[in-house]
Chain A
Amino acid sequence: MHDSGFTQLEEVIQDPLFPEVDLALRAGRHIDRDDGERYAFVLDAQSLLEAFYRRFGCELVHASDGFFYLLPVGDRMGRRQLTAGEMLVGQTLALVYLEPTTVQAGGVTQQSVVVARLASLVGERDLIQALNPRRRKYDERIAQETVRMEIAKALRGLESLGFIDLGEGDQVRLRLGLFRFAEAVRGLGDPAGALARVIAEGKAVAETAGDADDEEGGA
């Protein structure tokens, strides 16, 4: 167990929790209150860790919703941008999180609900196009199967980033990190302006999905 406050970086690094927290943050994971002692550790060592990661060209972001993540702002740390599937599914999950019906289930929803909501909000045709960007002509059955596969892949990706937990069957437990998908529409100002702001801050990029999929970096 770590003490309630750290005075030196050495104490933080010596803490048994440091390796797993460090690896998780570098892998892009969002650490929220549900992570218990790992969240508490980052919270206690926040100022020291911020300075520590700044040296790697990263910013340790503490969102007001109660989660941490590492944002690469230079070239020293590898980075990636979420795929189109992860973006679409992530936004849908954030929307589901906000719904009162999810409260009844204690923050748990089903994958089938997510797929249905996504299709109804984006439109089946646009969804197929967004998740099969390189295909001009497609067979409907194959395209729908590809969409389902892309959504399943996106859910796994979001789980590895700490946005959700996948449970038994098709259960999905929603986590606080999902509020990141609502960051651009948090304020009451112009959404386009807010989006431009987060892009300028390096939190997001506005590139085509094809480019996004291809881009990968290394530390």
Chain B
Amino acid sequence: METPERDESLRVIASIHRDGIGLDVKPVDLCFLIALHARASQNNLTCFEEDVLLDVFEQVCEAVDSDGEPLRKRATHAIQRLREQRLLSRVDGAGIVRAGDYSMTRLASSIVEFFMADQALTRESLSLLTKALLVSLAQVRSEAKKAQTADDWRVSVVGPLRVTVGDLVAGIERRQRGLDVQQEGVRQQIGQLLDADWFSALDRCQLLLDDTTTTLSELNSVLLHDAHQILAVLSDIEQAAAQARMAEAEEAAQRVAEQVDRVAAWGRTRQSAWSDYYQYVHRYLRDVVRLDPSRALSERLRNQLAGWTTQPFYWVVAQASKVRVLRESVVRAHRPPVVRPAQDRETPLEHVPSDSEAVALEELVRAALASGKSRLSDVLDVVLPQIDAAKRFAAVGRIGAQVAVETAARSDRDRPWVRVPEDIQVEDWNLPGGRPHA
């Protein structure tokens, strides 16, 4: 069964695809958004007048991109781009009457926050968030115990679970993603440090590894401890909702519990993955970097490989033949070969009656010629009435052919066309004297 959330996400996906919505934020647009965010924070602005937008854009361009195009024109295009992508919206509603007021959308704020805010999870921020979560949940639990009506449940339990508690857990998840990015950065940093300084980078790499390991370990212990408490409170709320038959509240509590489970699972998987990475790098530092401080091994191996084709050698490895396991003997049942039953493949001949009509027609024509008919039309006048009406047209041709063979047929200079039975017209021939048939 599809959940409402899944329905909603499918609807959003479909609408984005249908409307062809996409994001194409150029670096200058991104800088512009960050500068707007900074201006709003400094001056406590909730929206920006058009002049402020232009002013901020001008400052950004002076700092990062002084293209030759007129600034005002570029600002107009930038504002238009941001509005089209729902990053900036006009909020005054005055239309053409006066210049507008604009504010950054939630999407724009999120993008800016991603680049600006230090959202990585720390022990302090995680403890603070989990404690706040526990306090909120304890309050919801006590409200759940007091709730009498469906409205009480909706206002005091479902609402806080979805908004307050949901936002707190989402805050933890967001910071977890921040820490993921930070870890990726640490990996990159270790690679760069080794590439640049090799042996001299050992201590700094070790420090980076240890810092991240400590952070993850602390976070995981906080998560393990607090997640257990949070899930216990959520279980109480779920139980109370089930007793009161409040399916909506029960479902909201389950949803938060799933989120908390996910948060706790994150801690376990990240710590395990980092542990593998830690071991690998530690081994690398010990076996490769420490034992080869001048990177001579790489150089010698490179030379060995480059010269291998001229001076090849091959490592020897064991290759014991596999133990041969004999197949168990089985008594095979006799299976006769597949054959077809014997049969006479010669098809017997069929007796087919000869075409008596053609013979009869020839006889009729000969009889007519023998009776002294001197024109083709006369022959046809005699013969055609004796033939089946449906076959007369075809018979005219055959009769003509026979007459031509058996007589010395002649045609007048003006070839006369004569009507014969069945409303057929033929070119008449003279049959002078006839010719005895064969």
Does A204 lie within 8 Å of B316, measured CB to CB?
A: yes
Q: Output the residue of B280, B300, B319 with the most chain A CB within 10 A.
A: B319
Contact with A along B282-298 (1 / 0, CB 8 A): 01100110001001111
Does B304 reach chain A (CB closer than 8 Å)?
yes
Does A26 lie within 8 Å of B320, measured CB to CB?
A: yes
Contact with B along A83-103 (1 / 0, CB 8 A): 110011011101101111101
Complex interface residues of chain B between 245 and 285 (CB less than 8 A to chain A)? 276-277, 280-281, 283-284
Does B314 lie within 8 Å of A87, measured CB to CB?
A: yes
Give the chain B neighbours of A126 by CB distance below 8 A: 309
Does A66 reach chain B (CB closer than 8 Å)?
yes
Q: Which residue of B lies closest to A108 (CB)?
A: B280
- A58-B318 contact, Cβ under 8 Å, with A92-B305, A206-B312: yes
Does A188 reach chain B (CB closer than 8 Å)?
yes
Question: How many residues from A make CB contacts under 8 Å with B?
Answer: 70
Q: Which residue of B lies closest to A212 (CB)?
A: B314
Query: B55 CB to closest chain A CB, in angstroms?
Result: 43
Query: B89 CB to closest chain A CB, in angstroms?
Result: 41
Q: Which stretch, B98-106, B188-196, B366-374, B415-423, touches the partner chain A?
A: B188-196
Give the chain A neighbours of B301 by CB distance below 8 A: 91, 94-95, 98, 181-182, 185
Looking at chain B's contact residues, the main secondary structure is helix
Does B306 reach chain A (CB closer than 8 Å)?
yes
- A104-B191 contact, Cβ under 8 Å, with A185-B304, A191-B303: yes
Contact with A along B149-165 (1 / 0, CB 8 A): 00000000000000000
Does A65 lie within 8 Å of B287, measured CB to CB?
A: yes
Q: Provide a sorted-by-A list of 5 A–B residue pairs whose CB atoms are within 8 angstroms.
A: A72-B316, A87-B313, A98-B295, A105-B187, A206-B314
Does A87 lie within 8 Å of B300, measured CB to CB?
A: no
Does A80 lie within 8 Å of B317, measured CB to CB?
A: yes
Question: How many residues from B make CB contacts under 8 Å with A?
Answer: 41
Give the chain B neighbours of A203 by CB distance below 8 A: 315-316
Q: Which residue of B lies closest to A72 (CB)?
A: B318
Does B42 reach chain A (CB closer than 8 Å)?
no
Does B313 lie within 8 Å of A185, measured CB to CB?
A: no
**Alpha-carbon distance between A97 and B204 when the two chains are bound, in angstroms:** 21
Give the chain A neighbours of B302 by CB distance below 8 A: 95, 121
Does B115 reach chain A (CB closer than 8 Å)?
no
Give the chain B neighbours of A43 by CB distance below 8 A: none
Does B314 lie within 8 Å of A106, measured CB to CB?
A: no
Does A217 reach chain B (CB closer than 8 Å)?
yes
Give the chain A neighbours of B311 by CB distance below 8 A: 195, 206
Does A21 reach chain B (CB closer than 8 Å)?
no
**Alpha-carbon distance between A81 and B316 when the two chains are bound, in angstroms:** 4
Does B321 reach chain A (CB closer than 8 Å)?
yes
Give the chain A neighbours of B195 by CB distance below 8 A: 100-101
Does A113 reach chain B (CB closer than 8 Å)?
no
**Alpha-carbon distance between A99 and B302 when the two chains are bound, in angstroms:** 12
Does B320 lie within 8 Å of A195, measured CB to CB?
A: no
Contact with B along A2-24 (1 / 0, CB 8 A): 00000000000000000000000
Does B317 lie within 8 Å of A191, measured CB to CB?
A: no
Contact of A27 (CB < 8 Å), options: B191, B280, B297, B320: B320
**Alpha-carbon distance between A17 and B137 when the two chains are bound, in angstroms:** 50
- Per CB-CB distance, the 5 closest pairs between chain A and chain B, nearest first, are A104-B191, A28-B317, A100-B194, A185-B300, A26-B320
Give the chain B neighbours of A180 by CB distance below 8 A: 315
Complex interface residues of chain A between 160 and 182 (CB less than 8 A to chain B)? 161, 176, 179-182
Task: Identify 13 new A-B residue pairs, CB closer than 8 A, beyond the known A79-B317, A191-B304, A217-B321.
Answer: A58-B318, A66-B283, A80-B317, A92-B305, A95-B301, A97-B288, A101-B195, A103-B280, A118-B305, A122-B305, A130-B308, A185-B304, A216-B319
